[in-house]
Structure 1
């Protein structure tokens, strides 16, 4: 997992790649988003915001076609992340929802409010529900190439 402490850090390191530039553009418009409504930029980036408790899962979730990107808006977000190779698969990969599920333990990571975290496709993660319940923008960004072929 790559954690950027602010959007400025994220943009400085990632904006040269079109898909990450589009990710930043999606994050720029979050004030206009409705709760739990999905938005997209083509089929290469889908995003929405939820409360952390709504994104929390009992198991670790991995993806293969899309990076999971987490951006807490108004409070720190606690996430557990681990390499898939060190976990036990409890549900095989499904091409329908681009998810596979795992059990095991990983590293506890805090993403600061205003920060951005990118989960790599060889990792699984789970949002941990704790005493805080920040709004979190969840993005799924294609792993393919450096650009959006349809944009």
Structure 2
């Protein structure tokens, strides 16, 4: 997981490439979004605003085809991160959901208002659901702007 202090830093680090530009486009469109509704830009990005307390689960979640970016608008939350290799498979990867569920222990990190977290695919994460948070969740394809199987 890469944690950036603010959106300006995200824009500086991830300024090149269509998928990164689409992330910025999505974030800059926030005033027009309804909470809990999934939106898309092209075939490489889906995003939505989540508001509330995350479910506290025992399972880590990992992805392969998409990675997540969370931009924190209000509040904060704790997330536990671990390398997938250090965890045990509970439910094998399913291509339809782009998820696998894993068990084990990781290291906790507190994320808060203004920060941008990039969850890379060699790690798994689980949220602890310890407080209310409002954030934009972006799911970005690992391919460069398109799906290889189309």
TM-score (norm 2): 0.90
Distance 2:110 2:24 in 1: 20
Distance 1:101 1:149 in 2: 26
SS in 2 for 1:31: helix
Counterpart contact for 1:55–1:127, Cα < 8 Å: yes
Which structure dedicates a bigger proportion of its chain to strand?
2
SS in 2 for 1:26: helix
Tell me if 1:53 matches 2:48.
no
Task: Name the counterpart of 2:113.
Answer: 113
Structure-to-structure mapping, 1:86-105, within 5 angstroms: 86-105=86-105
Gaps of 5+ in 1: none
Gaps of 5+ in 2: none
Counterpart contact for 1:83–1:124, Cα < 8 Å: yes
TM-score (norm 1): 0.90
Distance 1:129 1:71 in 2: 16
Distance 1:10 1:95 in 2: 29
Distance 1:128 1:110 in 2: 10
List structure 1 runs of 4+ shifted beyond 6 angstroms: none
Distance 1:52 1:110 in 2: 16
